[in-house]
Amino acid sequence: MLGTATVSKSGETLDKRIISRSEHSISRQDISENALKVLYRLHKNGYHAYLVGGGVRDLLLGKLPKDFDIATDATPEQIKALFRNCRLVGRRFRLAHILFGRDVIEVATFRGHHDKQDPKKDLKQNVSRQSDEGMLLRDNVYGSIDEDAERRDFTVNALYYNIADFSVIDFANGLEDIEKRQLRLIGDPETRYREDPVRMLRAVRFAVKLDFEIAPSAAEPIQELHGLLREIPSARLFEECLKLFLSGQGRDTFLMLAQTQLLYPLFPQLKTWLPQWGEDSQEIRFILRCLENTDRRVQTDQRVTPAFIFAAVLWPLVQIREQELLTELSLSPQDAMTMAMNDVLDAQCKAVAIPKRFTSAIREIWTLQHRLDRRFGKRAYKTFEHPRFRAAFDFLELRAEISQDPEQLALSQWWDDWQKVDEAGRNRLLKALDDKGPRKPRRKRRKPTKAKPVESND
């Protein structure tokens, strides 16, 4: 093991260590074949190429990485010239995506310090830009591997696997932090959070995913700076929500976000009600139960949709708003429900830009909660054929499980039986409904009366 000390721009000493192949556990057999192709081609063409970040960290932890990201000294344009299956993406920082069917290998050029930019260049070119609060708005400044390591967020992500000699370069004692199972920021935590407030969300996500603790130096500023997330574009926060809640640890992530107050910039409407509900309330237990259900589906490779998560988290708010509208205005239950859904979703989308295809699905899941109770005649068949029936049924089943309401439990069991029987069995279920009691009488439509002809005085 070789070690050298380097001094970062902030004055912090980074203890650079090179761990030879015989001293670490990473094997090329555990690295994606497509990632190896990219690494080898970059290396053969005279560029430095490294597997970097979470891929190296997870391999050292004995986990199978979800992504294999690569860092290199080749510029995005040089990368594109080497790979016909490459496309360049990103405005904040230019990246190369190498496409192998559905598998995407992300390749980034080493990032440099902001003071390296040429002030004569246009801001749209290869330069950086910051807001008055210190947030990075544009970050296209390239540098060396040492500078790239200093620019990374957590020490456990400043690990580089060198394809040239299969060694691992550790720039910030990341291996030691992996052994301690802690997340520590490189540089001053407050400055790093101000540069990119999403790092606070990343800290929570990694802590839950890896079962690490956030180091006190990294945890303390979050209480003061969590409001900076409101400055992040709402579309980017939606992408972060997908990573937070669809990774298989959504329940624990939700609890840690609430504990660190990072939940409120994502779901501002919860700030009023979450403290009032309490940990053992039906509202919280329902949200957590839905997140557990999604976690189980993710872990068993079943399909999941963000619509179900947002529908679950926002459902208690819809019920509250519906009751407010029924009290304040003379509305029918259906109109009150429609207005409540619109009010809650409109407020939510200002914070997190949920795409229309998901807001439509959320509305359908909520609307079907009422339709599931209307089963007479052909209504049961029409509801069952609805594209969102399965998600709506799961939603109902979890509601009944948490509330233990006899009517909801009976309704949930009825629909469960419906899905398990054939046509004859469904007819029996419908007949049993008729035998239990009369249907709700329909309102008779009044026939339109013809206007009487106006009699003339002539």
At residue 154's C-alpha, the angle toward residues 153 and 159, to 5°, is: 105
Instruction: Catalytic residue, from 69, 148, 177, 196: name it.
Output: 69
Pairing of strands 128-130, 103-109: unpaired
Gap between the Cα atoms of 27 and 21, Å rounded = 9
Backbone angles phi, psi at 297, to 5 degrees: -65, -40
Gap between the Cα atoms of 345 and 259, Å rounded = 24
Strand-pairing partners, residue 87, are 97
Task: List, in order, residues 6 or more apart from 75 with CB less than 8 Å away.
Answer: 109, 142
Residue 295 is a catalytic residue: no
Residue 335 is a catalytic residue: no
Separation in Å, CA 405 to CA 39, 142, 177, 278? 58, 61, 49, 20
The answer to whether 252 and 212 have CB atoms below 8 angstroms apart is no
Instruction: Catalytic residue, from 73, 139, 146, 153: name it.
Output: 153
Instruction: Catalytic residue, from 67, 335, 343, 417: name it.
Output: 67
Residue 434 is a catalytic residue: no
The SS3 assignment for 85 reads coil
In our burial notation (b when 16+ CB lie closer than 10 A, e otherwise), range 261-277 reads ebbbbbbebbeeebeee
Question: Which residues are designated catalytic?
Answer: 67, 69, 153
